[in-house]
């Protein structure tokens, strides 16, 4: 549904994380995130969260850069009625603006984001991503703490020197019933014989992974294809897939048995829907990946995770996993599941007082049409 956009509000918001999160790319203690609000003349405003991180380490985009490209290139195009596709790259910034525009339309229509995407499940399983800890025992303690709260799927961040041993320790403690993924964030080299041998052990029967995520650099599709032929666990691509076109290349090479789907990384919900359909047609598994989103982004991820093709555990946990105070009313989990919002649009909004308290930059652009 078309709505009369009168402007767009862009904010850089800073939220402290409930606990530090360490991956092969570094340690995060807070989440700086761009929040987009489309201002509508005679209906509800729309909201979108830009998943770009403060540093360009996971992906080339970063929060302050996304704010700049939104302010100077994307929002002016949207307000002028030009296509956002005129701007190359900058998927995360584009996705946030697309989400906010779409959210406004869906709210006006009274239709949920889950329904727009084609989601079929009212409830989805949780999946807890666990960063690197100081010791293997610390890692096991963290996993057991979440396991004790009912969560039954875990993604362990790995990197050279922190892989087989921690994964085996977790598997030993949690038993066979739990789904375990390993995510390397591209930290291994496909031309290093010893690292390939390690990945063979990571994918071994004793650890029993449901998937091995992004072992190699994003552009190393050939390396991923070679590994996929050598191990009998799906190689799941995350950073390698920024568009449907890149998915097609990966499929043609045999480089992916699974995809970590993030609407932000692929430029938005329309592209995410296409990628989901293409993976289903090819029999490729999907999982909804996470970017330490606030409640706003989590609402979207819940809708994505509820798609019929998302058959691998997501990166999805209750708000308390990430923030002491979330931007929205907190999302809770129960027995290792979470409810998919079914209200209009994202089904949730930022709490005005938290939004104002955590905003460090605010820009408002008005339509001149």
Task: Choose between 45 and 315: whose C-beta lies nearer to Mg ion.
Answer: 315
Looking at the Cβ atoms of 91 and 112, the one nearer to Mg ion is 91
Cβ contact 269:116 at 8 Å: yes
Main-chain dihedrals φ then ψ at residue 18, nearest 5 degrees: -65, -35
Q: Which stretch binds Mg ion (CB under 5 A): 47-55, 76-84, 120-128, 209-217?
A: 209-217
Shortest distance, position 57 Cβ to Mg ion, whole Å: 12
Q: Give the integer Cα–Cα distance in Å for 199 and 212.
A: 9
155 counts as catalytic: no
Determine the interface stretch with Mg ion among 142-150, 182-190, 263-271, 326-334 (rule: CB under 5 A).
182-190
Phi then psi for residue 31, to 5 deg, are -115, 110
Q: Name the active-site residue from 90, 147, 152, 157.
A: 157
Interface with Mg ion, residue 45, by CB under 5 A:
no
Taking the complex as a whole, how short is the minimal distance between the CB of residue 222 and Mg ion, in angstroms? 20
The least distance separating Mg ion from the CB of residue 290, rounded to whole angstroms, comes to: 9
CB 125 within 8 A of CB 314: yes
Nearer to Mg ion, 96 or 261 (CB): 261
Q: Which stretch binds Mg ion (CB under 5 A): 71-79, 174-182, 234-242, 300-308?
A: 234-242
Q: Which residue stretch of 39-47, 122-130, 180-188, 221-229 sits at the interface with Mg ion (rule: CB under 5 A)?
A: 180-188
- The dihedral region occupied by 254, where left means phi > 0, alpha psi between -120 and 50, and beta the remainder, is left
- Which residue lies nearer to Mg ion by CB, 100 or 236? 236
Query: Is residue 183 near Mg ion by the rule CB under 5 A?
Result: yes
CB atoms within 10 A of CB 73: 15
Half-sphere exposure of 11 (CA within 13 A, CB side): 22
Question: Whole-number minimum distance, CB 236 to Mg ion, in Å?
Answer: 8
Of 28, 262, 273, 276, which is the active-site residue?
262
Smallest gap from residue 185 Cβ to Mg ion (A): 6
Stretch that binds Mg ion, among 84-92, 175-183, 337-345, 356-364 (CB under 5 A): 175-183
Give the interface size with Mg ion as a residue count (CB under 5 A): 3
262 is catalytic: yes
User: Closer CB to Mg ion, residue 32 or residue 213?
Assistant: 213
Q: CA-to-CA distance for 285 and 294, rounded, in angstroms?
A: 26
DSSP secondary structure string for all residues of 21-42: EEETTEEEEEEEEEEEEEEESS
Closer residue to Mg ion in complex, CB, 9/213: 213
Q: Is 60 helix (H, G, I), strand (E, B) or coil?
A: coil
Burial 27-37 (b: 16+ CB within 10 A, else e): ebeebbbbbbb
For Mg ion, the binding residue among 238, 271, 293, 349 (CB under 5 A) is: 238
32: CB partners within 8 A, 6+ apart: 12, 13, 14, 53, 54, 63, 64, 360
Per the document, the length of the chain is 369
53 interacts with Mg ion by CB under 5 A: no
What span, in angstroms and rounded, lies between the C-alpha atoms of 1 and 132?
A: 44
Nearest distance in Å: CB 231, Mg ion: 17
Q: First-to-last CA distance in the chain?
A: 19
Residues 4 and 119: their CA atoms lie apart, in Å, by 27
Q: Which residues bind Mg ion (CB under 5 A)?
A: 183, 213, 238
Return the active site residues.
157, 262
């Amino acid at each position: 549904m078309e709505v009369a956009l009168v402007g767009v509000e862009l904010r850089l918001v800073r939220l402290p994380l409930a606990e530090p999160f360490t991956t092969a790319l570094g340690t995060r203690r807070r989440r700086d995130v761009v929040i987009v609000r489309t201002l509508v003349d005679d209906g509800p405003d729309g909201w979108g969260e830009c998943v770009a991180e403060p540093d360009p380490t996971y992906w080339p985009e970063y929060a302050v850069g996304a704010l700049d490209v939104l302010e100077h290139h994307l929002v002016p195009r949207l307000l002028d009625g030009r296509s956002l596709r005129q701007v190359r790259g900058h998927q995360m910034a584009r996705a946030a603006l697309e989400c906010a525009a779409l959210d406004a339309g869906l709210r006006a229509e009274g239709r949920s984001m889950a329904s727009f995407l084609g989601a079929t499940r009212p409830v989805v399983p949780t999946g807890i991503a666990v960063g690197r800890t100081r010791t293997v025992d610390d890692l096991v303690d963290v996993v057991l703490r979440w396991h004790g709260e009912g969560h039954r799927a875990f993604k362990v961040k790995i990197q050279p020197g922190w892989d087989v041993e921690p994964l085996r320790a977790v598997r030993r403690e949690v038993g066979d019933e739990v789904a375990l993924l390993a995510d390397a964030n591209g930290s291994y080299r496909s031309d290093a014989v010893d690292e390939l041998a390690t990945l063979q052990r990571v994918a071994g029967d004793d650890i029993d992974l449901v998937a091995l995520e992004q072992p190699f650099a994003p552009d190393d599709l050939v390396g991923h294809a070679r590994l996929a032929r050598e191990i009998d666990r799906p190689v799941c691509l995350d950073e390698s897939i920024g568009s449907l076109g890149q998915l097609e290349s990966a499929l043609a090479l045999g480089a992916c048995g699974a995809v970590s789907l993030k609407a932000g990384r692929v430029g938005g919900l329309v592209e995410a829907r296409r990628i989901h359909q293409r993976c289903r047609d090819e029999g490729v598994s999907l999982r909804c990946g996470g970017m330490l989103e606030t409640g706003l982004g989590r609402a979207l991820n819940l809708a994505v995770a509820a798609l019929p093709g998302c058959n691998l555990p997501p990166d999805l946990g209750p708000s308390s996993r990430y923030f002491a105070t979330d931007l929205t009313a907190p999302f809770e989990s129960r027995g290792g599941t979470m409810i998919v919002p079914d209200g209009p649009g994202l089904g949730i909004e930022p709490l005005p007082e938290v939004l104002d308290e955590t905003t460090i930059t605010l820009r408002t652009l008005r339509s001149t049409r």
